[in-house]
A = this chain, B = another copy of it.
Amino acid sequence: MPMRVTASIRAPEPRTASPSARAGATDMRMIYHFGRTETAGNASQRDLLGGKGANLAEMSAIGLPVPPGFTITTEVCAAFDKNDQRLPSALMSHVRDSVALVETETGKTFGSATNPLLVSVRSGAAVSMPGMMDTVLNLGLTDESCRGLAAAANNPRFAYDAYRRLINMFGTVVMGIDHEHFEASFDRIKANYGAAQDTDVPADGMEQLCEAYQAVYRKHVRGRFPQDPYEQLERAIEAVFRSWNGARAVTYRRINEITGLRGTAVNVQAMVFGNLGDDCSTGVAFTRNPSTGESKLYGEFLVNAQGEDVVAGIRTPKPISQMRRWNQACYNHLLEIKNTLEGHYRDMQDIEFTVERGRLYVLQTRRGERTGAAAVKIAVNMVSEALIDRPEALRRVPAEDLTQLLLPSFAEADKKAAKVIAKGLPASPGAATGTLAFTAEEAVERAQAGEQVLLVRKATSPEDIDGMHHAAGILTSTGGMTSHAAVVARGWGKCCVAGAAALDIDPKRRRLTISGATFTHRDVLSLDGSTGEVLLGEVKRSTPKVSEQFTTLMEWADTSRRLGVRTNADTPADAKRARKYGAEGIGLCRTEHMFFEGERIDAMRQMILAESGDERRRALKKLLPYQRKDFIGIFTAMKGLPVTIRLFDPPLHEFLPHEPKAQRELAGRMGVAPRRIKQRVAMLHELNPMLGHRGCRLAVTYPEILVMQVTAIVEAMIACKKKRIDAQPEIMIPLVGIRRELAMLRALTEETIENVRTAKKYTGKLAIPIGTMIEVPRAALVADAIAEVADFFSFGTNDLTQMTYGFSRDDINSFLPAYLEQQVLDRDPFQTLDETGVGELVKTACRLGRQTKAALKLGICGEHGGDPASIRFFHQIGLDYVSCSPFRVPIARLVAAQAALA
């Protein structure tokens, strides 16, 4: 069976069987019939017929073999309420006419002792109110017709079971008898038969139960259970209308702010049965393969069975392809229905059907769920089949599902066989298997020795970057969807499970304990980054190939969208990958990750420990060639496309070791007293580093850092130009909140560019836009002033969200779960942009910025740049581009197209 699709035949909606329906000669038409003979309504009449009634009419109208029936309109409900909860006097005579029509169509008779028609009575308002109103099934059964049903089905137990259900349901729903009275009778009978389950009670037990239930009914209602099927029907219709103004329904409408409806409609429909013999069956079918998208009927069926039998799991259904052998006509009918459905709904459909005595009935049809791959294939194929146009194809594919097409995943069967030993957050999709490494150093060493390792940490920090990069997957016990581990891993398209709270990690002893079981560096685990599951041992993985349809769809998307799509990438490898996925430039190239590798980190630390500008400049001089080389690599990978480089951002203490041992080692390498390192670390310690000495604040206090970085950028640009590589750097100054911060640093940047040009004797053009991130709320509020000295804005919505809410991403897990559970928040604002609050600031900044400079380029490079709902918002408010992780670039392209088409 396909992924993410219900694995077996569902319990079908209880069956129906009913005759004619025709409105009389009153002022208003009270009844709309649906069936072969006559279908009066259609899908547009939800207000009058309710959602269910309109759908049944629609299905009948397009020729689907729906069990016939009729809908009593919502206007009747309104009249019922106006008339002191009494049915219009003419109604029941119309109902009789309609039942007669159903009788004709089905060849059964309501209340018949030989071949009885059974009907269901269901509510159905214009807006779905699941479970809030009443339903009665099996109407039409009486002592007499029950015997008829038993004979017709050749199955007395089935008939009495249906009858006792009717008495129970009618008693509770229509007459208001407490369910526990019925329950008590059943318990007694089960005891008599020594039956543990309801299903263990034999046919005569069921017969006794019907009698017992009738006794309960008599006792509480002071009258016999109605033996006139029309009396049953009338009472049931009243009950459904009454339930419209029942306490549950009224509360539901109030909470969900549903107003302006006339009432509920009532649907009376013939019930059909798939278990009356071997010429009966029940099943589910998709009009195309929901897993691959192949245009071939796909599904399962079970002979002589009801939906319940399938759910009980006692029998195994057969693939739909085998239906041909069981009943060729039915199979052909299904193929015909596939065409009818797709021709009408122009989408892949999922239907439930029942074959009663060789006659196929469709009980329900709905849009079929599908995998990402299937969604793409179906959408593109349906365009070739002229069923839909390209915009519709683009709208059809849920953007989020595209990740499935790009990242490795576990084979469903293998995964099912594996044991889930813990569950964390699905922090970065994909699948990974490996032995465990408990420190970043260990991960690097063992990975370089050829081992596949998973890095297991309580949480990761920038010090772990190298280890994270070398690991096949990352597993943490704390942190949320936007923790360091999650953000970095998503950026790389690397599998990560974060915040698996059941993990007890002891890095010193290199041990991981999960509910008593202990794992060491020799044990193998697997991570499913799409579900957050941690699995025991190795699970087979497969990496999907990019399909032809995917490429086509992406091309269509690109011609439809207005919003540009860039990527967040810090390395040539990432840049290349993103380019392959269609990125039109780099929107965020972080430069700090570049300082963690090998020798660089020591030069970096020397810079931080420097006690004078001179000493600092000497250390920076060592870093310059590395930076230049990094930039040449990235410019080359992105040639011809813009690369927005964010200057140094994090607080300096992130680069110093915090453990005494590591501090001593560093002191040894640098030839200074360990005390000095300890002191410097203590001095740099901040209570709230998020709001501390970082971003452009560092450039104001240590301008040498900016000068080194800008020098490296310009030297790299010149080196590329000399090799005829079109390098297009853009310099982005982070964390600006005050106009003068940017004005000063822009001047220093421009001066440095000119200095390098002079030093390199370069005479060509060096157009380097200089802009800023808008990530501090104040920056958004004074964006008009900041725009005077900016060529572009790029919204850093991660930090902007942190500061606008006052939520630390690193600490939010202590209360976010409670906030989501109690619906204080509808969703994690770090995943989907908060349009009301944070979005307001983004809009303000756009408005003020463009007020100053109409041509100001506006982008966004926070995590939200890869989130579909947020991308839609960014399109609406007129940003020029979004920038996201390489693996989310196709998603962003598609969503941008969808937004443009909306």
A residues in contact (CB < 8 Å) with B: 686-693, 697, 700-701, 735, 737-738, 740-741, 744, 775-778, 781-782, 785, 799, 802-808, 810-811, 814-815, 818-819, 822-825, 834, 836-838, 840-841
Given contacts A738-B824, A777-B803, A805-B776, contact A782 B690 (CB under 8 A): no
Q: How far is the CA of A504 from the CA of B151 in the complex (A)?
A: 101
Q: List 5 A-B contacts (CB under 8 A).
A: A688-B688, A692-B814, A701-B814, A776-B806, A782-B840
CB-based nearest B residue for A785: B836
Q: Return the contact of A815 from the options B687, B693, B775, B776 (Cβ within 8 A).
A: B693
CB-based nearest B residue for A776: B806
Given contacts A687-B689, A691-B802, A700-B822, contact A782 B836 (CB under 8 A): yes
Query: Chain B's nearest CB lies how many Å from the CB of A751?
Result: 15
Q: Return the contact of A740 from the options B741, B775, B823 (Cβ within 8 A).
A: B823
B688 in contact with A689 (CB, 8 Å):
yes
B806 in contact with A799 (CB, 8 Å):
yes
Which residues of chain B are within 8 angstroms of A688 by Cβ–Cβ distance? 688-691, 808, 810-811
Q: How far is the CA of A805 from the CA of B803 in the complex (A)?
A: 9
B824 in contact with A777 (CB, 8 Å):
no
Query: Chain B's nearest CB lies how many Å from the CB of A762?
Result: 31
A824 in contact with B782 (CB, 8 Å):
no
Q: How far is the CA of A199 from the CA of B785 in the complex (A)?
A: 54
CB-based nearest B residue for A461: B687
B804 in contact with A777 (CB, 8 Å):
yes
B737 in contact with A693 (CB, 8 Å):
no
Question: Closest 4 interchain pairs by CB?
Answer: A691-B808, A688-B808, A778-B837, A692-B811
B822 in contact with A744 (CB, 8 Å):
yes
Which residues of chain B are within 8 angstroms of A690 by Cβ–Cβ distance? 687-688, 690-691, 806, 808
Q: Return the contact of A804 from the options B689, B781, B808, B825 (Cβ within 8 A).
A: B781
Given contacts A690-B688, A701-B814, A805-B737, contact A781 B823 (CB under 8 A): no
Which residues of chain B are within 8 angstroms of A803 by Cβ–Cβ distance? 691, 777, 803-804, 806
A691 in contact with B837 (CB, 8 Å):
no
Which residues of chain B are within 8 angstroms of A840 by Cβ–Cβ distance? 781-782
Q: Return the contact of A693 from the options B686, B775, B811 (Cβ within 8 A).
A: B811
Q: How far is the CA of A738 from the CA of B807 in the complex (A)?
A: 12
Q: How far is the CA of A169 from the CA of B838 in the complex (A)?
A: 63
B782 in contact with A837 (CB, 8 Å):
yes
B687 in contact with A824 (CB, 8 Å):
no
Which residues of chain B are within 8 angstroms of A687 by Cβ–Cβ distance? 689-690, 808, 810-811
A692 in contact with B805 (CB, 8 Å):
no
Which residues of chain B are within 8 angstroms of A819 by Cβ–Cβ distance? 697, 700
Q: Return the contact of A778 from the options B691, B778, B822, B834 (Cβ within 8 A).
A: B834
Query: Chain B's nearest CB lies how many Å from the CB of A869?
Result: 18
Which residues of chain B are within 8 angstroms of A802 by Cβ–Cβ distance? 691
Q: Return the contact of A735 from the options B686, B697, B806, B818 (Cβ within 8 A).
A: B806
B691 in contact with A811 (CB, 8 Å):
yes
Which residues of chain B are within 8 angstroms of A810 by Cβ–Cβ distance? 686-688
Beyond A686-B814, A738-B825, A776-B804, 19 additional contacts (C-beta under 8 Å) are A687-B689, A687-B808, A688-B689, A688-B690, A691-B803, A693-B814, A693-B815, A697-B819, A700-B815, A700-B822, A700-B824, A737-B806, A737-B837, A740-B824, A777-B837, A778-B804, A778-B837, A782-B837, A803-B803
Q: How far is the CA of A778 from the CA of B780 in the complex (A)?
A: 13
Which residues of chain B are within 8 angstroms of A785 by Cβ–Cβ distance? 836
Which residues of chain B are within 8 angstroms of A692 by Cβ–Cβ distance? 808, 811, 814
Q: How far is the CA of A814 from the CA of B840 in the complex (A)?
A: 31
Which residues of chain B are within 8 angstroms of A777 by Cβ–Cβ distance? 777, 803-804, 806, 837, 841
- With a 10 A CB-CB cut-off, give which of A735, A823, A834 has the most chain B CB atoms: A834
Q: How far is the CA of A785 from the CA of B737 in the complex (A)?
A: 27
Which residues of chain B are within 8 angstroms of A808 by Cβ–Cβ distance? 686-692
Q: How far is the CA of A802 from the CA of B741 in the complex (A)?
A: 17
Which residues of chain B are within 8 angstroms of A782 by Cβ–Cβ distance? 836-837, 840
Query: Chain B's nearest CB lies how many Å from the CB of A840?
Result: 5
Which residues of chain B are within 8 angstroms of A818 by Cβ–Cβ distance? 700-701
Query: Chain B's nearest CB lies how many Å from the CB of A701?
Result: 5
CB-based nearest B residue for A836: B782
CB-based nearest B residue for A825: B738
Q: How far is the CA of A641 from the CA of B834 in the complex (A)?
A: 40
Query: Chain B's nearest CB lies how many Å from the CB of A593?
Result: 19
Query: Chain B's nearest CB lies how many Å from the CB of A652?
Result: 10
Which residues of chain B are within 8 angstroms of A701 by Cβ–Cβ distance? 814-815, 818
Which residues of chain B are within 8 angstroms of A838 by Cβ–Cβ distance? 778
- With a 10 A CB-CB cut-off, give which of A701, A802, A815, A840 has the most chain B CB atoms: A815
- With a 10 A CB-CB cut-off, give which of A689, A778, A805, A808 has the most chain B CB atoms: A778
Q: How far is the CA of A699 from the CA of B824 in the complex (A)?
A: 12
Which residues of chain B are within 8 angstroms of A823 by Cβ–Cβ distance? 740
CB-based nearest B residue for A799: B806
